[in-house]
Chains A and B, each alone.
Chain A
């Protein structure tokens, strides 16, 4: 009798806990499969084989060491760009101007880097990274400050700030910081080789990936495991309640938006030091906007950003092979993304409704 009680009680704690936790994994996965299925039907209307398509996506995105590294390279800046959206979102702020912070972080790196040629890289690189973070932080932090002190909508202000940032970049790389030798593609002076960030050991993927992953984990710890993160989530739940509780709402908003912008600035730093070698208009290539999509799909959970970014980067990596092997236009991958993300967003409404994941309703 005693044994039976023991077994019963362990079973009762183990299974319901798993059921509860699996909700956050099973629902998005099911949505992914459903989205892919709907897209398959769409392909059939175009007279193309969905099976071929999926096989090529797999091959182009994850199927070989080369493809996997292709995906990882593309994911690196997206991780940091998505954090720029996810962190403020936990305070209830919708910041969509990460592109501006990426661009200015890159410009700061490109403008200052050539002056640090004589400084040992071990000092110069972290310094440049911190400056890029500071510039990005200032930019998104400004949107946070406008929100808190003046009541300006942060969605609009951050977007407008991004336009200003891109115009500023164009002015700076075509004017004051232009390398006179860069004729048809105005750029800043090239960085010396010692200030170029290389690849991760044994991989064809630059160090930005490691820092992106680290930033995601650190952000998760910050939000889920610290009192700061707890306070931020309260602000996100109800600002008035947070103020009544005496939480430092202003400092939280400024801190989180600045940190978010800092991560985006860091993405710009890696674009310049690891990819371009100088700052130019290619910095504004849309990572900031892709980051919005990733953050929302990850429901602003920094850890969930990692798989979502890998999925999106994988689609991107496979896009080329789809064009080349199936004679489908570039927009095909956008249609696929549309299907998948629409279904994932709709699946949001399924949370809390399915008995399967809620043991208290099993009886």
Chain B
């Protein structure tokens, strides 16, 4: 029950004050009220649960798990990638009896998950985006999705909608996952019109609203008329770009509510499906694989419904490409391909399909992207 200040009458207040003394005696403390469900699952987020972005996408997954029979979910937001997250994981294990943990930020993996996991061999640690390999603790797993494919589909819609033939990308850091998204976005647009260019601006931080707004404005000033991003919370970019009259493509979660007219589509995580699937397996007593990856076909990612501005031509190519991708083995990164410094990346006939592990160490921007990795 939540009382708004308006409804806090003196009677309520006195009741509450009486409860102050009463509760202590009857000791209806929440830690005692906590019923012992068969499985307690802990979710840890690096930012706010309602950031319209990365953390919200995971929190939506946690909400789906919460609705399952026989599962208790505990959550903690704004946990920094320091000793704090180690203590949070241990606290969930020791005080809440969590047996399955989802520390969802990349920076939680090394050293934090790797430091805590050996101490609790009976607890399962499932980490988003990490790269589990032989030799690491076996009670640790890592999972992630091929969301670059979603940015490719974003690019196809953007390619149809841009009039200036310039699209823009607000990026956090020049790391492989981000570079793959930028390259995919441009290659999607170039599948529509090979003269399109994509300008990228790196903010240098995962969550820095001021710089994200500056970068978005700079892209608009440079003539970009479709903009997307890869930062933890796309809210600022989406709102700023739409406010400047540009179309926007979403990322991480569905941001259409922030710009209903300008929102074209978006690359979203579908953690609800992934998490409920994993928890079902654990409840059934199965062991989860240590290394899991999936794309659109596996239900790891999904696209936001197309917005009202999307033209029929854009929708037609979007649907056709989506159908191709759903067959599996689709390659966005394929030859002939050069980086934006002129170096040959792939020769004609060579390709890297979405599951290719080489994509997870990408260090270049493709020809047509205006920007530098360093």
- Where the two chains meet, the residues of A that have a C-beta atom closer than 8 Å to any C-beta of B are 40, 44-47, 49-52, 55-56, 59-60, 66-67, 70, 73-74, 167, 170, 174-175, 183-186, 206, 271, 275-277, 280-282, 285-286, 316-317, 319-321, 323-326, 329-330
Contacts and interface: CB of A to CB of B under 8 A. Distances in A.
Interface string B62-80: 0000000000001111111
Contact of B94 (A66, A183, A319): A66
Contact of A183 (B23, B88, B360): B360
B95 A46 contact: no
Contacts of B94: 66
Nearest to B175: A184
Given A70-B90, A70-B91, A320-B92, 14 more contacts: A40-B20, A44-B8, A51-B24, A60-B91, A74-B83, A74-B87, A175-B374, A184-B360, A206-B83, A285-B82, A317-B87, A326-B30, A329-B49, A330-B77
B320 interface: no
Interface SS, B side: helix
Contacts of A275: 82-83, 111
B175 A52 contact: no
A15 B143 CA distance: 67
Contacts of B20: 40, 49-51
B95 A66 contact: yes
Contacts of A329: 49, 77
A317 B86 CA distance: 11
26 contacts: A44-B12, A44-B16, A44-B17, A45-B3, A45-B5, A45-B8, A46-B3, A51-B24, A52-B29, A52-B30, A66-B91, A70-B90, A167-B204, A174-B374, A183-B361, A184-B106, A186-B173, A282-B82, A285-B84, A320-B87, A321-B91, A321-B95, A323-B77, A324-B74, A325-B30, A330-B48
A59 B31 contact: yes
Interface in B31-60: 31, 34, 48-49
Interface SS, A side: helix
Nearest to B44: A320
Nearest to A55: B29
A186 B74 CA distance: 30
Contacts of A67: 91, 95
Of A49, A56, A174, A319, chain B has the most CB atoms within 10 Å of the CB of A49
B11 interface: no
A157 B241 CA distance: 34
A185 B109 CA distance: 10
A74 B87 CA distance: 9
B30 A44 contact: no
A325 B31 contact: yes
Given A185-B106, A285-B82, A320-B88, A60 B29 contact: no
Contact of A44 (B13, B107, B174): B13
Contacts of A52: 23, 29-30
A76 to B, nearest CB: 8
B210 interface: no
A276 B106 contact: no
Contacts of B1: 47
B129 interface: yes
A103 to B, nearest CB: 13
Contacts of B90: 66, 70
A90 B31 CA distance: 45
Contacts of A175: 374
A59 to B, nearest CB: 7
Contacts of A276: 111
B193 interface: no
A325 B74 CA distance: 8
Given A49-B19, A70-B87, A330-B78, A282 B30 contact: no
Contacts of A319: 76
A8 to B, nearest CB: 44
Given A183-B176, A186-B175, A324 B107 contact: no
B208 to A, nearest CB: 11
Contacts of A183: 131, 175-176, 360-361
B95 A174 contact: no
A42 B29 CA distance: 19
A74 B31 contact: no
Nearest to B33: A325
